[in-house]
């Protein structure tokens, strides 16, 4: 079975710009952890700093995870949910904000060590810009690179995985696509800096997500982490996996196996109006179905089809292999 | 079984702007008709005037269809593939071009009658514009409406179904979406003017295609015809049905049944580099799979789920009902 | 000079799903009204119920507007910013929620009358759905139509203008595009039900916004209200007018004049990280520039160019008429 | 004045998939060259092999250019317009097709040398795929890299500039965005391999084109060539520059100067229904206007604004600096 995990906040309340109170009620953290543990297949959690874990409560959170046999898969530093990051964190023009962002990353490093968590998943959502001619595109990219380098260099025991997303909350993000994020990761010169693919972000970027996997793996085994969800193709709708697309998830699981991806299969959704646990469960079940049907004989058939390069045969094979 | 059909040209050669000779070899018409007849489920053909059928060869074409037990499902007037229509056909500023377009529609009416074909599928692909401030948006829309009205009024024995598409070959088409096309159809005041949905055009328009079905049917039973294909969401890629999306085709077949759609399920693809017959076959097989699994008990379950309005349950139901 | 107005909340704090506290500090209402009044050209305000105006404070708000010589241009009923509307308001499956939405519209009617406000701008943002097969597409559209009809029928002294938007906060909105909203408006059979165009919503819908104007005006003079902003084409970024596009705003002002639009030119932006007043000011200045240059002789030239239909001449004319 | 050039074919006939004969009449090559030379500002031409220049006519073409004082700016190898490349050229699964593509590149090298042309602009439009699971994503990318490396290595006197485009004619191109193309260019290890930005391709990729410039220049001065056009944001409409967007071209010219871009400003459009010469002329005039207004004092103001990072001030500055 694949190692499934989930971002803890997916089980809680979620808001948007029109309903800042959120669509549901907030759940106590303990309840969310318990629910995560009950989902078949889920063996790990990702925690957002500030929201889920702080220097003050790290040990208590660790005990909660232990009690439910859950690993801490990643810490996601909160570089996006505070007013001070509103005009950027690691790339902010204000030097003291940049320093604060670096300081916070070091805090996350400490929390990760306490939780035996091997990976820091950096999504610098506020680092970007909205308007043409708003920003000094060279300086800010350099600051972003320097900040990441400084922290990753001093914590060689951890992986730093950069999560890209083309837009939202900024109109243009500095880490926008697989390849530009990889370029920045390579620019650090550090082996412990890599890239996170969020399937939905990749769809919005217009990538074929399997090709993003291949690029990251081919140019230095740089795919460190995977977030799963689905959307309608134009926005990060953060929906249940398989609720919109199908064959692309088969392709994705194939190339993850083929390129030797050994990280987690983590769910990252925003079930605004739905039961969080149920939504995560449905996603994991969908991926389990593909993984089950993609057995050794199916994989062998697929290898053969990739050599044939005949999309009609492949389409018929998908019909016969996956559908009733 | 649903009544499947195909546009004849799908089985032939197809070109694009970089390779005007096309990617394949042209096939003789007789061969294309024979191939269509061999596809399990296909019982009808759509013919493009000029390309497939002309006043001169109508009877010969009719005999060819008869010989293979194929109905003529629609005539698609060629209002897009000739230099004279380059700046518009029914909405052209040049009055004599508009007249030529109307004349050609009357020719198609005659061909349809000869072929016992009940429907003229009008896709005025050149009627639109590319640049801001290029066109007199009021006049041209009126001319388009008048042309269609004039022809449809004089051929009350036929259905005239307007096919919309947001763009290509023009940057903006006058018949762009389901609702604006319906408004124009209603403006004619004629019962025999309705709308064709091409699934891929609808995806590019950002519509949920099922909602387009519902709108057309709710406001006057105006869904006259259906074209099926799939795409990656941003362009009319004209791919095999089910090669990108899944649950939406289940929803679509449900609402077609539910709203009493009684027309054809016609394949409209552009298998640029693939075997045309095989590509159509795969699409029909995919739809047959959904239709088979959407049996009476599944339909009853679905009715219930639509009342529950719980997307998690529905997603799980899709997993259990359609996948192995 | 054109009659400019602004949605009051544009001058206050704005949040998103990652930063629910908002990027700025909230301003007192009186301060926001004062700032609006100071913007050259702005003569009216739009007020969101619950946020800006309630049955309790209507008179006090009215005095505030009077004190600054500002008209109340519209009331925007809050059918989107409360938990109870999370699964729909006027189209909610729960009958008591639908009734609550209707009740709230009647409250807005009373507030409008008190404020001498002629128009209710209905944006039913939560009325739509996210997943395929989530909703009964016929029932819910009917409920939406019935609710609007019921209220508008009983308040013939007011205009009810339906604002469309393809998505957000739902993946699919029931009022998604100009034409489907017009169809619903016409379905009510009421003269006092029309449509609001928000330029940014129209861009995201893939419409040429000028054509949306023409369609609404041609099929019954149904353009009741206009919201202005700009975006990068894929999402409702709610940016300053003219910060991305240019010739389309010239085309838009032309067709608004040409089709006899006599409503307000209202700014609707989300200056998340910017000074609200300054952002609105820049937008109004941009529209004033176009309006100034589009004088009688320019309009005459444009009429001529529309008959010529030569985009090269038009492009050169734009260069000469608007740029230095 | 900036060094403007144009792709010769822009002045000729252009077709699409619905009208393979093209919308206009073909012009004799000599006439197209003469027209190009007449456009104010244009000092160079790009030539597509097979279409514009062949081993047989290279010298004659060179004399034609000399006679009109035009430089040969680039050769664009025809790796896209022949049936044999339909399933890929440099990345084709068929080894003999790959060899043929390499052979053709060597032919282009010879033609370039004859014409004193310093740059081969490689747009491998057929190298990509349409369907999920159609292609071996690792092998094909490697073949593509190897082919380019092999040729560029043996012609160190020439620059090889890789032009990216997200899709069309394939649904997914291997050279899709600035960054993945840069990664491939760097993978060759050769200083004479770089990247071409086509503005319209960049818009469709969702990039802010100025950021693409910065990335290419920051990671090794790899921006070798620029193609200019405009579009509506969703497709490669190949329209006149400035017919849709404005401030982004100001930003683009600023960053081209700032990062030391010293190549050509080449027009690449598809004036399907317009006079080619006029369309190119309008584009060059638009860029000249920006370049003229972006004088030393304006550049100094802009530097200051980039430090202020206040989009409102910048927007007002744009209004005052560029509009009447």
> What confidence tens digit (pLDDT) does each residue in B188-239 have?
999 999 999 999 999 999 999 999 999 999 999 999 999 999 999 999 999 9
Per-residue pLDDT, D267: 98
Q: How is residue B14 written in tokens?
A: 């197809």
CB-CB under 8 Å, A289 with B316: no
Q: How is residue C70 written in tokens?
A: 């500002």
Q: Mind giving me the DSSP string for C79-97?
A: SSSSGGGTT-STT-SSHHH
Which of D14, D15, D17, D49 should one mutate to test binding to chain B, selecting the residue with the greatest count of B CBs within 10 A? D17
CA of B315 vs chain C CAs: smallest distance (Å): 9
Per-residue pLDDT, B285: 98
Confidence of residue D53 (pLDDT cuts 50, 70, 90): very high
Q: Name chain D's partners: 3 or more CB pairs within 8 A.
A: A, B, C
In chain D, which residue's Cα lies nearest the Cα of C284?
D316
Q: Which residues of D touch A206 (CB under 8 A)?
A: 166-167, 176, 204-206
Smallest Cβ–Cβ distance between D211 and the set A137, A205, A305 belongs to A137
Q: How is residue B252 written in tokens?
A: 């679509």
CB-CB under 8 Å, A319 with B324: no
Instruction: List the one residue out of B209, B134, B203 whose CA is nearest residue B171.
Output: B134
Confidence of residue D317 (pLDDT cuts 50, 70, 90): very high
CA of C233 vs chain D CAs: smallest distance (Å): 7
Smallest Cβ–Cβ distance between B18 and the set D80, D132, D171 belongs to D80
CA C79 to chain centre: 14
Cα separation, C235 vs C203, whole angstroms: 8
Instruction: List the one residue out of A255, A233, A256 whose CA is nearest residue A244.
Output: A233
Q: Reduced to 3 states, what is the DSSP secondary structure of residue A164?
A: coil
Q: Which residues of C touch D234 (CB under 8 A)?
A: 206, 233
Instruction: List the one residue out of B124, B215, D280, D116 whose CA is nearest residue C173.
Output: B215
Per-residue pLDDT, C94: 98
CB-CB under 8 Å, C273 with A132: no
In chain C, which residue's Cα lies nearest the Cα of B206?
C205
Smallest Cβ–Cβ distance between D83 and the set B19, B169, B237 belongs to B19
DSSP 8-state class, residue B183: H
Q: How many helices (H) and strands (E) does chain A have?
A: 11, 10
Name the burial class of residue D82, with classes exposed (0-12), middle (13-18) and buried (19+) by CB atoms within 10 angstroms of its CB.
Answer: middle
Q: Which residues of B touch D237 (CB under 8 A)?
A: 130, 171
pLDDT tens digits, residue range B130-186? 999 999 999 999 999 999 999 999 999 999 999 999 999 999 999 999 999 999 999
D276-293 and C311-322 helices, crossing angle to 10°: 20
CA of B15 vs chain D CAs: smallest distance (Å): 5
Residues facing D196 on adjacent strands? D163, D225
Smallest Cβ–Cβ distance between C81 and the set A19, A239, A244 belongs to A19
Per-residue pLDDT, B221: 97
CA of C92 vs chain A CAs: smallest distance (Å): 13
CB-CB under 8 Å, B22 with D273: no
Q: How is residue C82 written in tokens?
A: 């409360």
With the C-alpha atoms ordered D110, D113, D117, D121, is the resulting torsion angle positive or negative?
Answer: positive
In chain C, which residue's Cα lies nearest the Cα of D277?
C312
Per-residue pLDDT, A268: 98
CA of D278 vs chain C CAs: smallest distance (Å): 6
CB atoms within 10 A of CB A154: 12
Per-residue pLDDT, A272: 97
Smallest Cβ–Cβ distance between D133 and the set A183, A205, A305 belongs to A305
The model's pTM? 0.98
Per-residue pLDDT, B44: 98
Domains, chain B: 4-293 (3.20.20.150), 296-324 (no CATH)
Per-residue pLDDT, D322: 98
In chain C, which residue's Cα lies nearest the Cα of A129?
C273
Cα separation, A287 vs A284, whole angstroms: 5
Q: Output the average pLDDT for chain D.
A: 98
Per-residue pLDDT, A283: 98
Q: Which residues of B touch D81 (CB under 8 A)?
A: 18-19
Smallest Cβ–Cβ distance between A137 and the set D93, D255, D318 belongs to D255
Q: Reduced to 3 states, what is the DSSP secondary structure of residue D16?
A: strand
Question: Is C237 within 8 Å of A132 (Cβ atoms)?
Answer: no
Q: How is residue B261 written in tokens?
A: 């759609």
Across the B:D interface, residue pairs with CB atoms under 8 Å apart total 96
CB-CB under 8 Å, C232 with D232: no
CB-CB under 8 Å, A310 with B285: no
CB-CB under 8 Å, D240 with C315: yes
CA of D73 vs chain B CAs: smallest distance (Å): 21
CB-CB under 8 Å, A324 with B243: no
Smallest Cβ–Cβ distance between D245 and the set C245, C289, C324 belongs to C245
Per-residue pLDDT, D130: 98
Q: Which residues of B touch D239 (CB under 8 A)?
A: 130-131, 171
Question: Is B108 within 8 Å of B75 (Cβ atoms)?
Answer: yes
Question: Is A21 within 8 Å of C83 (Cβ atoms)?
Answer: yes
Length of chain B: 324
pLDDT (tens place) for every residue of chain A, 324 residues total = 999 999 999 999 999 999 999 999 999 999 999 999 999 999 999 999 999 999 999 999 999 999 999 999 999 999 999 999 999 999 999 999 999 999 999 999 999 999 999 999 999 999 999 999 999 999 999 999 999 999 999 999 999 999 999 999 999 999 999 999 999 999 999 999 999 999 999 999 999 999 999 999 999 999 999 999 999 999 999 999 999 999 999 999 999 999 999 999 999 999 999 999 999 999 999 999 999 999 999 999 999 999 999 999 999 999 999 999
Question: Is C197 within 8 Å of C213 (Cβ atoms)?
Answer: yes
Q: Which residues of A touch C84 (CB under 8 A)?
A: none
CA of A53 vs chain C CAs: smallest distance (Å): 17
Give the pairing type, strands B128-129 and B172-173: antiparallel
In chain D, which residue's Cα lies nearest the Cα of B24?
D83
Per-residue pLDDT, B196: 98
CB atoms within 10 A of CB D2: 16
Q: Which residues of C touch B261 (CB under 8 A)?
A: none
CB-CB under 8 Å, C240 with A131: yes
In chain C, which residue's Cα lies nearest the Cα of A232?
C171
Residues facing B75 on adjacent strands? B47, B120
For chain C, which ranges sit under pLDDT 70?
none
Contacts (Cβ under 8 Å, ≥6 apart) of B114: B58, B59, B62
Name the burial class of residue A300, with classes exposed (0-12), middle (13-18) and buried (19+) by CB atoms within 10 angstroms of its CB.
Answer: exposed
CB-CB under 8 Å, A245 with B248: no
CB-CB under 8 Å, C244 with A132: yes
Q: Which residues of A touch B242 (CB under 8 A)?
A: 246-247, 315, 318-319
- Cα angle: B39, vertex B40, B41; to 5 degrees: 110
Smallest Cβ–Cβ distance between C323 and the set D281, D282, D324 belongs to D324
CB-CB under 8 Å, B187 with C309: no
Chain B contact residues (CB < 8 Å to A): 206, 232-234, 240, 242-248, 274-275, 278-279, 281-282, 285-286, 289, 293, 310-312, 315-316, 318-319, 321-324
Confidence of residue B46 (pLDDT cuts 50, 70, 90): very high
Q: How is residue D203 written in tokens?
A: 């818009």
Contacts (Cβ under 8 Å, ≥6 apart) of C57: none
Q: Which residues of B touch D131 (CB under 8 A)?
A: 239-240, 243
Confidence of residue D219 (pLDDT cuts 50, 70, 90): very high
CB-CB under 8 Å, D319 with C286: yes
pLDDT tens digits, residue range D147-181? 999 999 999 999 999 999 999 999 999 999 999 99
DSSP 8-state class, residue B73: E
CB-CB under 8 Å, C93 with B309: yes
Cα separation, A15 vs A18, whole angstroms: 8
Phi, psi for C280 (deg, rounded to 5): -70, -45
Smallest Cβ–Cβ distance between A183 and the set D206, D208, D215 belongs to D215
């Amino acid at each position: 079975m694949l190692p499934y995990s989930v971002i803890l906040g997916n089980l809680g309340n979620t808001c948007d710009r029109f309903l800042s109170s959120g669509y549901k009620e907030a759940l106590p953290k303990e309840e969310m952890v318990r629910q995560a543990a009950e989902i078949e297949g889920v063996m790990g959690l990702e925690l957002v700093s500030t929201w889920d874990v702080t220097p003050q409560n790290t040990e208590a959170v660790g005990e909660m995870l232990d009690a439910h046999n859950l690993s801490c898969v990643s810490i996601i530093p909160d570089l996006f949910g505070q007013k001070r990051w509103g005009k950027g964190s690691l790339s902010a023009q204000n030097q003291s904000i940049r320093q604060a962002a670096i300081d916070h990353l070091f805090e996350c490093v400490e929390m990760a060590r306490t939780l035996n968590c091997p990976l820091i998943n950096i999504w610098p959502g506020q680092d970007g810009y909205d308007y043409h001619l708003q920003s000094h595109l060279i300086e800010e990219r350099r600051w972003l690179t320097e900040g990441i380098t400084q922290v990753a260099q001093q914590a060689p025991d951890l992986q730093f995985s950069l999560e890209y997303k083309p837009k939202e909350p900024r109109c243009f993000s500095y880490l926008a696509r697989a390849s530009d994020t990889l370029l920045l990761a390579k620019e650090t010169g550090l082996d412990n800096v890599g890239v996170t693919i969020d399937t939905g972000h990749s769809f919005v970027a217009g990538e074929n997500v399997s090709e993003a996997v291949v690029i990251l793996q081919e140019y230095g085994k740089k795919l460190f982490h995977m977030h799963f969800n689905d959307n309608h193709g134009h926005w990060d709708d953060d929906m249940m996996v398989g609720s919109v697309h199908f064959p692309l998830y088969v392709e994705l699981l194939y190339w993850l196996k083929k390129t030797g991806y050994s990280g987690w299969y983590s769910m990252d959704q925003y079930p605004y109006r739905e039961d969080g646990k149920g939504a995560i469960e449905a996603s994991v079940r969908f991926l389990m179905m593909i993984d089950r049907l993609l057995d050794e004989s199916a994989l062998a058939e697929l290898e053969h089809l990739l050599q044939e390069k005949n999309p009609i045969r492949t389409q018929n094979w998908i019909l016969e292999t996956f559908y009733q």
